[in-house]
Amino acid sequence: MSFKKHWFQFADDTTTVTSLPSDNQRLLNIFSKWISWSDLIVRADKCHVFGIQKTSTKSVQFDPYLVVSNQQIAPIKTGESFIYLGKTFNFDMNLQESKSDLLSCIDSYLEKINNLPLHPSSKIEILNSYVYSKIRWSLSIYNFSMTWIKQNCDSIVSRQIRHWLNMHPGANITHLCCPKDKMGLNLQLPSSIFEKCQTNVRNILRQSEDVNIKSIYDATKHRYVKNDAIISTSITTDKSCKTLQNKEIKDSCWSHF
């Protein structure tokens, strides 16, 4: 039986994925020779190995012994997570740690803004322009549910907004999301940012020329019906605008001649 072996290279990040530790060590041996030929240096202290093996009844995490450039790679301890290309992974493949990090990040930024001697409208501007730029990455790469975002992230932001504006804890602030010329403060809640981020990711997958990326887009359509509908509507609108613009150009040219 043959097992697939993968060597993923992104800039200076290298990942090898195999079914057996022995196969992984062979890839690492080739990688070490390539590094030596390229006159590069491997920081083994920054490398990690993560292993999962199937027992008789279930899968368990284990610590495979792997070496790169004559240095042992430290294994990820049982129960701990690791970060690859900015995304957190763990044995349970859940989002608990990512959720906690996101909420802590929002809390930290809101507390800093709260201590600034600024008008509430200025604090909201900082929230819209700065804080959300710091969490867009997490909102793009993790498959949080919209319900969780609204119940947790939106509630944290809404509570702080009410505090800044000296409003009742149970006051409705949806009108603040209106533009300033319509009696609002142009407030954006995390749920709206999350929807935009997820829609952008879906659009990137849809436009990709890579067959594998396209297959991911097609296989996940049932989970992102609303986002894909937004993209389709946007494309239809853009085509209509371009058609109308081309018609106006033709008419102006005809009138000119």
pLDDT at 247 > cutoff 80? no
- For residue 52, give the H/E element and its range: strand 51-54
Region for 76 from its dihedrals, namely left if φ exceeds 0, alpha if ψ lies in -120 to 50, beta otherwise:
beta
Average pLDDT over residues 107-133: 95
244: confidence class by pLDDT, cuts 50, 70, 90:
very low
pLDDT of residue 251: 45
- Please count the residues of the chain: 257
The residue whose two tokens read 């937004």 is 230
CA atoms within 13 A on the CB side of 77: 1
Give the span between the Cα atoms of 205 and 228, in whole angstroms: 11
pLDDT of residue 252: 40
pLDDT at 75 > cutoff 60? yes
pTM: 0.80
CA-based angle 101:173:118, to the nearest 5?
Answer: 70
Tokens of 191: 């749920």
pLDDT at 192 > cutoff 90? yes
pLDDT at 15 > cutoff 70? yes
Give the span between the Cα atoms of 19 and 6, in whole angstroms: 10
| Collapsed DSSP state (helix, strand, coil) of residue 70 | coil
Average pLDDT over residues 115-139: 94
- Decide: residue 100, CB within 10 A, 0-12 exposed, 13-18 middle, 19+ buried: exposed
CA-based angle 51:55:57, to the nearest 5?
Answer: 130
The residue whose two tokens read 């102006």 is 252
Tokens of 147: 């319900």
pLDDT at 141 > cutoff 90? yes
Tokens of 132: 């959300």
226: confidence class by pLDDT, cuts 50, 70, 90:
confident
| Collapsed DSSP state (helix, strand, coil) of residue 186 | coil
pLDDT of residue 222: 86
pLDDT of residue 78: 87
pLDDT of residue 111: 95
Give the span between the Cα atoms of 256 and 141, in whole angstroms: 52
Q: Which of 38, 5, 4 is nearest to 15 (CA)?
A: 5
